[in-house]
């Protein structure tokens, strides 16, 4: 029985108090289920934003995004169009191949 994310240190995941199976059972049935999932999600997003800020300040944000995308989308074909479009607009179009940009109709690297 695993927590939502074994690597997460949020109050919901740490110490294995709440397992995925338990949360799945109570989500949508008990208010506590939604509350616990929200706590994990907010914790995750706050950590992600902190890491992104640190990466930007260190000048390593593009490399961080590359690794993040590889974890989220194991193959380039899985990267959604909106992600390609948003990162190209943010000046990170170099992360994608020309073929990938063309597939999603992004013909410029940044605005």
- 10 Å CB burial of residue 9 (0-12, 13-18, 19+) is exposed
CB of 4 to Zn ion, least distance (A): 5
Which CB atom, from 40 or from 101, has the smaller least distance to Zn ion?
40
Which CB atom, from 13 or from 95, has the smaller least distance to Zn ion?
13
Which CB atom, from 13 or from 84, has the smaller least distance to Zn ion?
13
CB of 2 to Zn ion, least distance (A): 11
CB of 92 to Zn ion, least distance (A): 28
CB of 67 to Zn ion, least distance (A): 20
b (16+ CB within 10 A) / e for 54-74:
ebeeeeebeeebeeebeeeee
Token code pair at residue 81:
């169009």
Nearest to residue 39, comparing CAs of 70, 17, 55, 21?
17
Asked if residue 13 lies in contact with residue 5, where contact means CB atoms within 8 angstroms, the answer is yes
Query: Which positions touch Zn ion (CB under 5 A)?
Result: 8, 10, 12-13, 40
Which CB atom, from 10 or from 92, has the smaller least distance to Zn ion?
10
């Amino acid at each position: 029985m695993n927590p939502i994310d074994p690597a997460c240190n949020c109050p919901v995941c740490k110490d294995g108090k709440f397992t995925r199976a338990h949360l799945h059972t109570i989500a949508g049935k008990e208010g506590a289920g939604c509350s616990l999932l929200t706590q994990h999600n907010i914790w995750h997003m706050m950590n992600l934003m902190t890491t992104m800020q640190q990466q930007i300040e260190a000048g390593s944000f593009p490399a961080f995004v590359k690794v993040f995308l590889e974890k989220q989308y194991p193959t380039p074909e899985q990267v959604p169009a909106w992600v390609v479009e948003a990162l190209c607009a943010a000046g990170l179009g170099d992360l994608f191949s020309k073929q990938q940009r063309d597939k999603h109709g992004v013909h410029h690297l940044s605005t």
